[in-house]
Each structure stands twice: as structure tokens, then as C-alpha cells.
Amino acid sequence: MENVKIKSSNFVMQHAGKLRDYYRIGKMLGSGAFGEVRVCVHRESNNQRAVKVLRKSHMDEDEKRMFFNEINVLKDLDHPNILKMYEFFEDEKRYYIVTDICKGGELFDEIVKRGKFDEKDAGVLIKQVLSCINYCHVNNIVHRDLKPENILLETNKEFDQIKIIDFGTSLVVNEGQKLDEKLGTPYYIAPEVLAKSYGAKCDIWSIGVITFIILSGIPPFNGASDQEIMKKVKLGKFNFNDPAWKGISDMCKDFISKLLTLDQNKRPSAEEALKHQWLEAANLSGKASVSQDIAINSLQNLTNFNATSKLQQATYAFIASQLLSKQEKE
């Protein structure tokens, strides 16, 4: 893949002026514990973009560090599957990041909403994720928190329209450098991250988990608690015994198995994974080399798993908001 770097001076600007001097602010697209995302229109060019508004009072020092880390990483990246950042504003109470607008939903939400998803769709989607991560790795960046919540799909578009977001925990690393900070999301975290000695291939493991889940609707490493899940991740044992796998090709299972290789040194790189025959087969429109429809129970599995994940997120967000409200009162 061509190694293209766009310097921050080309498309990321930090302004001393007010956001409203440059943009007209529109409707809200979403909100969370720290702020909101709104539509904005550039006054000079009339281009529609999105602005992420973050309240400083709702962010602790670690969250502010992650925020500026994301800016520093994104300012040098330019890839069709990475949400592009244009400008940054700051005032006394808030931070503002202006990015490309992406009106689509999170990966699982969109799959469940469409009600139909086949192995070819999965191949097209995963190839983009790998292409994006290969670009990052070529540029010495490890994402470290790949999960479906960080993959957006454009609404009413094909599965070849994805954006990867949230580079807050990503790092610029030297070739061969080993990282030792334990972070990530239990279902998707690589075993070497838990062992606190890892490199870029932790992202490959996460992509293997994502592929497993979007095709079967269940995680390869599951448990009643985070501790139980991580214990199973360390063992690295999984299978394709669920009925959801009956219609899935052996090529696909081989692809997943290679990405979920326990030994990171034997796991393929993003560049190597992109050359796997399953992804080549996914490009052959209408060919029988990839099975066409995911089983009904797979979609039901995914619906249930997605609902459980959303409930956990909502619970964490509620707890966070209560703690923030308490702090503000004090």
C-alpha cells in the first residue's frame, strides 16, 4: 500500500477565534457523557461537516490527554476509511473538533437494522478495516482499541462505506517496539496486551474477533464477567461449533483462525492478512465461493449481543453522569 502522509498544516488548523465565526451550527447528531456532535456548515465554502463539542468540566486529566493524543495522531493521517479532522477550536469552557460528517450508525446497529448480511458483505467490510489498519501500521501507529463501536457505516450505503474513529488510545511506535500498557475492551483485547508485552499485531487480533462476531453474532471468548472473558482470551481457545457457522466457508474460518493466532509472532500482519484468499473471494461478486446469507439465528445472536453491549454502555454512562453531577454540586 502506498505510504501517504498529509501534514497537519495541510488540513488541520487551530483557531484563536470563535467557532461561530467560521461555521453555522446545525442540528445535533448525537450526545454522550462529555459532550455532543452537531452538524456545522463552513461559512466560506458552504461545506457540511460535523463538530464534536466537549465540555472541559466533564473531562478528567486522563480524558484530556486522550483527547489531545487523538488530535496529534489524526492530524498526520489521510485515508478514506479514517474520519478526517479539519480544524480545532478552544474557548474557556469547551473544545471543538471539526471533522468529516458521518451520518451512519455503529457497525452492529447498521447490520441489525438492515436485517440481512452475508459473508461477502463481511469480506468487503473487513477488507476496509484491514486496509485502514495497514495504513496506520505502515505509518507506525497502533490503534489499540478496535471494536464495532469504533466502526461507523454510512446510512443506506453499501458495506464499502466505513469510517474508523476514536484514536484516543492509539500510539506512534518505533519498529519492533514493545508496549506494556494494559488497555482495551475485554471482548476484543489481545492476549499479549493482557501479558503487557505487545506491538501492532494486537490490532489484528481485534479484527479477528470483530469478524467472528459479525458472522456468528457471538464472541469467540465469552463469559459472565470481564475477568472470565479475559481468562479465556489468555487461553486463546475458540471453536466454530455454533449452528451459525454451518453456512460459513472454510476459507473464512481459516482467515479468522489465522487472525486469532495466540502467538503474536506467528500472527499475520495487516498486509499479509489482506492477501488471504477469503478476502480475494469476497471481491468476486455473485460467485459461489462465499456463502450468501447469514443464518437467521446469527442475526438474532448479533441482535442479542448488541443489546447487551448497549445496556452495559448505558449503565456506565449513567454512572459516569451521576459522578460528574455529584462533583459539580460539590
* 163-194 pLDDT, tens digit each: 998 888 899 888 888 999 988 889 999 999 99
Q: In sequence order, what are the beta bridge partners of 88?
A: 14, 97
**Contact partners, residue 160, CB within 8 Å, separation at least 6:** 124, 125, 128
| Cell numbers at 310, concatenated | 448497549
Q: What is the mean pLDDT of the chain?
A: 82
Q: Can you give the pLDDT at residue 222? A: 93
CB atoms within 10 A of CB 46: 8
- Please tell me whether residues 37 and 122 are part of one structural domain: no
Range(s) of the domain holding residue 51: 8-99
Q: How far is CA 92 from CA 17, 55, 95, 321, 328, in A?
A: 12, 10, 9, 21, 17
Domain contains 267 = yes
Please tell me the predicted confidence (pLDDT) of residue 156: 63
In the predicted model, is pLDDT for residue 8 greater than 80?
Answer: no
Poorest-pLDDT segment among 121-130, 147-156, 311-320: 311-320
The vertex-82 CA angle with 175 and 92, nearest 5°, equals: 100
Domain boundary (99, 130, 160) is at 99
Where residue 71 sits, what CATH number does that domain have? 3.30.200.20
- How far apart are alpha carbons 48 and 70 in whole angstroms? 22
Note whether 116 and 221 are same-domain residues. yes
Cell readout for 153 is 457505516
Q: What's the domain count of the chain?
A: 2
Whether 114 and 180 map to the same domain: the answer is yes
The reply to whether 146 falls in a domain is yes
CA distance 106 to 148: 7
115 and 61 in a common domain = no
Pair 153, 272 in one domain: yes
DSSP calls for 286-308: T-TTS-----HHHHHHHHHHHHH
189-247 per-position pLDDT tens digit? 999 999 999 999 999 999 999 999 988 889 999 999 999 999 999 999 999 999 889 88
326, part of any domain:
no
The pLDDT of residue 329: 43
**Distance between CA 233 and CA 262 in Å, rounded?**
9
Q: Is 317 a member of any domain?
A: no
Catalytic choice (62, 76, 118, 145): 145
Question: What CATH number is attached to the domain comprising 222?
Answer: 1.10.510.10
Bridge partners (DSSP) listed for residue 25 = 40
Q: Which of 99, 124, 150 is the last residue of a domain?
A: 99
138 and 31 together in one domain = no
Looking at residue 38, the DSSP 8-state letter turns out to be E
CA distance 64 to 58: 10
Does the pLDDT at position 299 exceed 90?
no
DSSP 204-262: HHHHHHHHHHHHHSS-SS--SSHHHHHHHHHHT-----SGGGTTS-HHHHHHHHHHT-S
CB 203 within 8 A of CB 143: yes
pLDDT in tens, 132-161: 999 999 999 999 999 988 888 876 667 778
Inside any domain, residue 168:
yes
For the question of residue 254 being annotated catalytic, the response is no
| Pair (176, 67) in one structural domain | no
Helix/strand/coil for 57: helix
